[in-house]
Amino acid sequence: MRALHPSTVLTPATALTAILAAALLTGCGEPAASPAPEPTAAAPTATAPPTAPTATTIDITVRDGRITPRPGRITVKRGERVRITVTSDTADEFHLHGYDRTLTLRPGTPATLELTCDLPGVFEAELHHSGARMFELQVG
């Protein structure tokens, strides 16, 4: 910085300007304040994690060779979850054709099969040992 000549008169405003200029040039003083952040949209609130879609439940009971409910066609949408529970009074094997899924059935013990129906079509569900047709699953 240049020295002032002794005949120079400093007014308070000139002195303040000189001090501020010196501070800016030398980096002295407090760091500049950060600019205020721009307003943003409100942050999303915490929510519970998404739950799995509810599965279509098919409950079948086999007693004395009779199937309840009576065999028929059950229609679900493609991509839908299905939970099939079979309770039999005799040992057998449940088979869902097309998806090629099986359940081993033990007398009096419910067996459950869960799957996502991603193949379109009509699929027969049967008991292998007795050959009884349980229902048809239509996926569309």
| Cβ(105)–Cβ(93) below 8 Å | yes
User: Domain limits at 62?
Assistant: 56-139
Residue 127 included in any domain: yes
Q: What pLDDT, in 10s, does the model give residues 81-111?
A: 999 999 999 999 999 999 999 999 999 999 9
Residue 9 pLDDT level (bands cut at 50, 70, 90):
low
Residue 102 included in any domain: yes
Residue 28 included in any domain: no
Residue 105 included in any domain: yes
Instruction: Report pLDDT for 36.
Output: 52
Query: What is the total count of domains within the chain?
Result: 1
